[in-house]
Chain A
C-alpha cells in the first residue's frame, strides 16, 4: 500500500515554486519582439459612438497600431459567444445581443472595450491610448437589477425589448399552486444576492503570438480551460483553425470562475499580433479587473415556502431576476437557470417546486459563473427561507430541517427540479456540526454575551450542490453547446517515472499533488515520481477544463480509466516477461505477480521492458502510455452543514464571527489537507459575500463606485476565526473514485450561515452584505432585540 496515495496529507508539490516566487504566470512570459497593448475603455455606461479619431494616437511615439471595432469587422473577427442556449417559457430562444471584441456603434458599460493601442512599450501604449478621441452621444442608463425590465427603461441592446434575455421556468406551476393552497403556514422572503467582483490574485493577462512561417498562433493566457478557449476562438470568433492555434495557460493565480470565459482582450491580442507581426502582450491593471472581469451573483428574488402545521414542507415558489450585465458572457445564461433552480430542493423533500428566472441586461459588466455559480444563490434562498420559517413557526431550526431531510435510505431521490440525488446522510453532518458548535451551550453563551452588552446569534446552512459537471447527454438536453466529459493520459517513461496529462486545469487547487496521489494509489508509483501536466493544448489531450468542482470527479475518473488501461497493457507485458498466462497475472501496489508463485515484476521493470522490447512477440505492442476520456454518469452531490456563531456590537453594528463549523460530505477524500484548504478558502469567500463585498454601480450614471480596494471590501484574515472543519463520508456511487468535489462548498454554504446568525443575533431581517451600518440601521429600526 502506498503511503502517499489516496487519503494521505501530502504536502502540495506545487507550493515550492509558488512560495519561492518561481511560478510561471502569463506576465512572467516575454516573447522576442514583444509589443504591448493598452485598451481604450468606455468612461460611460451607455453611449452611441459618433466617431473615433485615432490620428493623434497613431502618430504618437512607438505606436504600431490603433485598432477599433471597424477594423475587427473588416478583418472578419467575430463577436464573443455564449455557449448555452436557454429557452423561455413561451418556447422562444434567449435573446443574445451582439458582443463585439471592440465596440461597434455603442458602448454598454463603463470599461467596455472601444479601441486598442499596440506600441513598442507599455508606457507608450498607455500614453497613446489617452490620445484616442472618442465622440460619444450619451444615452440613458439602466443599472438596477430590480427595475431593468420596467417600462420606459433604456434598451441596452436596441433590438431586445424590455432588456430581457429570457423568461425561464422550471418545475410544476400547477402542482406548486395546489401545495400552497393547502398550506397551514407560508413563509415569504425577499432576497438580494449581492453582486461580487472575483478579485483573483493574478489579474487576467494574455500574449498573442503569431508565427508567420507556420501561419499559426500561440495564445498565452489566464484560462481555466485552454481547450475551450481554443475551440471558441477558432470555431466562433474565427481567429484561426484549431490546428493552427495553441493555447497555453501556465500557472494561473486563481480563477474562481472568472477565467473560464473567453474575453475580448485575449482575442484582440491574438488578432493584433497578426496585424503588427509581433507578439502582443496585455496584463490587466487591477482597475481594469474591477471593471471588466465577469462579475458574479446579482439576483433579486422573491421566495415562498409552504408548510403544513408541523412544519413539513409542501411547496416552494421562487421568482428571480438575474442580472446578466451588458453582454452575455461565455456561460452566463446557464448560471442563474440550470446551475441555480435545480438546487432549490436543497437537502429536503419538497414535493412541489416552481421557479421562474428572468435574465436581464443592464449597463454593467457581464455577469457569469463565480465560485459556486448559481448554487450559492440557490442555497442562500433555501437556507434563508428555511431558517426564517423555523423562526416564524417557533421550531428549532435544526429540528425543522430534520423533519424535512431526505433520509439516508431514500436514494436515489428524484427532486421535482431535474436532479437525482444518489447518496448522502444530511442528518449525520448536521449532528456532527451541532456537536462541534456546542449548540447545546448556545443559550448560556447568549446570556453571557448579553451581560457584556453584545448580541450573540447562531445560523445554520445545510447546503447541497451539484458538482462533477457534468453528464454530456444531460447538459446537452438542457441547451449546453458542449459536452462536459474530461480526459487524461498516463505515460510511463523508460526509467519508470510517469507523466500525467490532464484536460483539467489547476489554478490553485493542487491537482499536481492530488492527481499524483491518485496515480500512486492506482499504479504504485510514489507521488514524487509523477509529474502532472496541464494547461497546454499542444501537450494535453482535449479537455474541458476546471470549474464546477469537476476536476477530480470527472478528470480524476478519466485518469482511473487510463490507469486501468495501463494495468491491462502492463499485464500483457508482465505475462510475457514472466512466461505466464495473462489470465494469471495479478497487479497490486505497483507489482505484477503470477498467481500462486513468487514471481513478480515491478511496474517500473515492466515500463522499461515496454520501451526496450528486444524479445517482444509480434502481437505485443511496445510502449506504456494510455489515454482515456470519461463522461460522468451523474452530477455529484456534495452536501453538509455549516454553523456560524456571531457576536454583534449594538453600539456600532460590527459583526464578529466567533465560531465557525463546517462538516462536509465530499465522498472519498484524496488529500484531506488540500480539501481543508479548499473549505477554508471557500468559507472566507462566503463570509466576504455575507459581511463585506458588494459591487455597487451608481444607478443614475452606471459608474462603478467600488472600482478599487479603497471601496471594494475583501475579507481579511482577521475577519474570521480558526475554523472547525470535519467530514462525514458517503462514497459517491456514480464514479470510480467515490469522490464528489470540494472546491465550491465553502462559498456556497457560508453566506446563509453567516446571515442566519446575524439575523438571529439582532432579531431583524437584512440583506447582504451585513455591513456594520446595515446592522446598526436594522437595530435602529427597532424590530426587536435578539429573540430569546
Chain B
C-alpha cells in the first residue's frame, strides 16, 4: 500500500467538497474492493475520504411503497433488517449471500452499487426491482444507472446517498457463487410488480447486469418456475473464465431463474 491521506468528514457536504478538491482523492465506503486493490498497489489514491462518519448515509426506512436504504448500510444490516425482510425478503436473502461474514459486516450497498462489479449481487436487485439511486445531486433510475463493466451513470465525485427499492408483489434471488471468491458466477433476481415481471442477471454478462425480456414476458403470463425452464439465453455476450464457460453460465441463468421464481413463491 502506498501512503495516503485520510479524512473522515461528518457531513455529506464536506465529503463532496473534499472529493471535489482533489481529483486523486477517492471515497471510501466499506473498502471491500478499494482497500484490497490498494494493498496490491494497483490503486494509489492521494486521499481517502471515509464516508463512515456521515449519519445521513445510514439506515433502512420504509417510505410509502418503497424501502429506502442508506448508502453506508452494510450488507449484514440489510440481511438482518426486519423492514427489508417484511417488504422484500428476496433482497434480504441476497444481502446474506454476499461474500463472507467479514465482507458483509464491512461492505456497503452504496459502495457495491457505485463500484458496479459485474459479478456483484446488488446490481441484479437494483435493476430487477426498478430501484432509484439517489445521489448528492440527483436521482437516477436503475434502467439508466448501469452503463457497463464497473461503469455507471455517476459523475466524477458524485456520491450515492440512498437507494429506494419499490416494494414488489414478490421477488426472489438465486445465486450460483464462484466457489473461490463467492462473487456471483450467475445471480438472477426476479421481481413481480403491478407493472409486470422484471428479471435481472448479474455475474454472467460481459457488459455487466442485464435483463432477460423473454423470461419477463413468460413470467408475466405465468409466474412459475416452469415458465422459464425452457428459456435459454445465448452464450454470446456472456463472460468466460477459468471458473465457468459462457455455455455453462448460459445454462445456469435458466437454472437460477427457475430457482429465483421458486424462491419468490
Q: How far is the CA of A776 from the CA of B251 in the complex (A)?
A: 10
Contact of A773 among B180, B248, B255 (CB under 8 A): B248
Given A126-B41, A287-B40, A652-B176, the answer on whether A711 and B181 have CB atoms closer than 8 Å is yes
Which of B2, B176, B243, B245 has the largest count of A CB atoms less than 10 A from its CB?
B243
Given A127-B2, A771-B179, the answer on whether A711 and B251 have CB atoms closer than 8 Å is no
B21 interfacial contact with A, CB 8 Å: no
Contact of A709 among B3, B176, B181, B252 (CB under 8 A): B181
Q: How far is the CA of A449 from the CA of B3 in the complex (A)?
A: 57
Given A287-B40, A711-B180, the answer on whether A696 and B2 have CB atoms closer than 8 Å is no
Q: How far is the CA of A651 from the CA of B244 in the complex (A)?
A: 15
Q: Chain A contacts of B3 at CB under 8 A?
A: 123
Chain B 1-29 near chain A by CB (<8 Å), digits 1 or 0: 11100000000000000000000000000
A309 interfacial contact with B, CB 8 Å: no
Q: How far is the CA of A287 from the CA of B40 in the complex (A)?
A: 9
Q: How far is the CA of A785 from the CA of B67 in the complex (A)?
A: 47
Contact B248 A706 (CB under 8 A): no
A130 interfacial contact with B, CB 8 Å: yes
B183 to chain A, nearest CB (A): 8
A727 interfacial contact with B, CB 8 Å: no
Tell me the nearest residue of chain B to A126, going by C-beta. B41
Interface size on B, residues (CB 8 A): 17
Q: How far is the CA of A244 from the CA of B240 in the complex (A)?
A: 55
Q: How far is the CA of A338 from the CA of B252 in the complex (A)?
A: 45
Chain A 108-140 near chain B by CB (<8 Å), digits 1 or 0: 000000000000000100110010000000000
Contact of A713 among B1, B176, B179, B252 (CB under 8 A): B179
Q: Chain B contacts of A711 at CB under 8 A?
A: 180-181, 242-243
Contact B245 A651 (CB under 8 A): no
Chain A 693-711 near chain B by CB (<8 Å), digits 1 or 0: 0001000000001100111
Given A706-B242, A773-B245, the answer on whether A651 and B180 have CB atoms closer than 8 Å is no
Which of A287, A696, A705, A710 has the largest count of B CB atoms less than 10 A from its CB?
A710
B208 to chain A, nearest CB (A): 18
A712 interfacial contact with B, CB 8 Å: yes
Within 8 A of A (CB), among B185-217: none
Q: How far is the CA of A434 from the CA of B3 in the complex (A)?
A: 60
Contact of A705 among B1, B40, B242, B244 (CB under 8 A): B242
Contact B255 A651 (CB under 8 A): yes
Contact of B248 among A126, A127, A130, A776 (CB under 8 A): A776
Q: Chain B contacts of A713 at CB under 8 A?
A: 179-180
Tell me the nearest residue of chain A to B251, going by C-beta. A776
Q: How far is the CA of A38 from the CA of B251 in the complex (A)?
A: 46
B103 to chain A, nearest CB (A): 12
Q: How far is the CA of A651 from the CA of B251 in the complex (A)?
A: 9
Q: How far is the CA of A709 from the CA of B40 in the complex (A)?
A: 13
Q: How far is the CA of A712 from the CA of B243 in the complex (A)?
A: 10
Within 8 A of B (CB), among A710-728: 710-714
Contact B41 A130 (CB under 8 A): yes
A656 to chain B, nearest CB (A): 12
Could you tell me the dominant secondary structure of chain B's interface residues?
Answer: loop
Q: How far is the CA of A83 from the CA of B41 in the complex (A)?
A: 38
Could you tell me the dominant secondary structure of chain A's interface residues?
Answer: loop
Contact B181 A710 (CB under 8 A): yes
Q: Chain A contacts of B40 at CB under 8 A?
A: 287
B229 to chain A, nearest CB (A): 10
Q: Chain B contacts of A771 at CB under 8 A?
A: 179, 243
Q: Chain A contacts of B243 at CB under 8 A?
A: 711, 771, 773
A525 interfacial contact with B, CB 8 Å: no
Q: How far is the CA of A126 from the CA of B255 in the complex (A)?
A: 47
B158 to chain A, nearest CB (A): 28
Q: Chain A contacts of B242 at CB under 8 A?
A: 696, 705-706, 711
Q: Chain B contacts of A287 at CB under 8 A?
A: 40
Q: Chain A contacts of B1 at CB under 8 A?
A: 123
Tell me the nearest residue of chain A to B183, going by C-beta. A710
Q: Chain B contacts of A663 at CB under 8 A?
A: none
A193 to chain B, nearest CB (A): 18
Given A123-B3, A287-B40, A652-B255, the answer on whether A709 and B248 have CB atoms closer than 8 Å is no
Q: Chain B contacts of A181 at CB under 8 A?
A: none
Within 8 A of A (CB), among B77-135: none
A692 interfacial contact with B, CB 8 Å: yes
Contact of B244 among A123, A127, A692, A773 (CB under 8 A): A773
Q: Chain A contacts of B251 at CB under 8 A?
A: 776
Tell me the nearest residue of chain B to A706, going by C-beta. B242
Contact A712 B180 (CB under 8 A): yes
A124 to chain B, nearest CB (A): 11
Q: Chain A contacts of B248 at CB under 8 A?
A: 773, 776-777
Tell me the nearest residue of chain B to A716, going by C-beta. B179
A773 to chain B, nearest CB (A): 5
Q: Chain A contacts of B41 at CB under 8 A?
A: 126, 130
Chain B 223-265 near chain A by CB (<8 Å), digits 1 or 0: 0000000000000000000111100100110010000000000
Q: How far is the CA of A711 from the CA of B243 in the complex (A)?
A: 8
Q: How far is the CA of A126 from the CA of B248 in the complex (A)?
A: 41
Tell me the nearest residue of chain B to A694, going by C-beta. B242
Q: Chain A contacts of B244 at CB under 8 A?
A: 773
Contact A652 B252 (CB under 8 A): yes
Q: How far is the CA of A777 from the CA of B249 in the complex (A)?
A: 12
Q: Chain B contacts of A773 at CB under 8 A?
A: 243-245, 248
Contact A710 B180 (CB under 8 A): yes
Q: Chain B contacts of A123 at CB under 8 A?
A: 1, 3
Q: Chain A contacts of B176 at CB under 8 A?
A: 652, 772
Tell me the nearest residue of chain B to A713, going by C-beta. B180
B225 to chain A, nearest CB (A): 11
Q: How far is the CA of A713 from the CA of B244 in the complex (A)?
A: 13
Q: How far is the CA of A705 from the CA of B241 in the complex (A)?
A: 10
Q: How far is the CA of A225 from the CA of B251 in the complex (A)?
A: 50
B160 to chain A, nearest CB (A): 25
Q: Chain A contacts of B245 at CB under 8 A?
A: 773
Q: Chain B contacts of A126 at CB under 8 A?
A: 41
Q: Chain A contacts of B252 at CB under 8 A?
A: 652
Q: How far is the CA of A123 from the CA of B41 in the complex (A)?
A: 11
B121 to chain A, nearest CB (A): 16
Within 8 A of B (CB), among A197-225: none
Tell me the nearest residue of chain B to A715, going by C-beta. B179
Tell me the nearest residue of chain B to A719, going by C-beta. B179
Q: Chain B contacts of A714 at CB under 8 A?
A: 180
A684 to chain B, nearest CB (A): 15
Tell me the nearest residue of chain B to A127, going by C-beta. B2
Q: Chain B contacts of A705 at CB under 8 A?
A: 242
Tell me the nearest residue of chain B to A709, going by C-beta. B180
Within 8 A of B (CB), among A741-778: 771-773, 776-777
Which of A287, A705, A772 has the largest count of B CB atoms less than 10 A from its CB?
A772
Q: How far is the CA of A123 from the CA of B3 in the complex (A)?
A: 9
Tell me the nearest residue of chain A to B100, going by C-beta. A716
A757 to chain B, nearest CB (A): 18
Q: How far is the CA of A127 from the CA of B248 in the complex (A)?
A: 42
Q: How far is the CA of A126 from the CA of B245 in the complex (A)?
A: 37
Q: How far is the CA of A743 from the CA of B40 in the complex (A)?
A: 35
A130-B41, A652-B252, A776-B248 known; 7 new pairs, CB 8 Å cut-off, are: A706-B242, A711-B242, A711-B243, A771-B179, A773-B243, A773-B245, A776-B251
10 smallest beta-carbon distances between A and B, as pairs: A713-B180, A710-B181, A773-B248, A713-B179, A651-B255, A711-B180, A705-B242, A696-B242, A773-B244, A652-B255
User: Which A residues are within 8 Å of any B CB, using their own CB?
Assistant: 123, 126-127, 130, 287, 651-652, 692, 696, 705-706, 709-714, 771-773, 776-777
Show 29 A/B contacts (Cβ-Cβ < 8 Å), sorted by A.
A123-B3, A126-B41, A127-B2, A130-B41, A287-B40, A651-B255, A652-B176, A652-B252, A692-B179, A705-B242, A706-B242, A709-B180, A709-B181, A710-B181, A711-B180, A711-B181, A711-B242, A711-B243, A712-B180, A713-B180, A714-B180, A771-B179, A771-B243, A772-B176, A772-B179, A773-B244, A773-B248, A776-B251, A777-B248
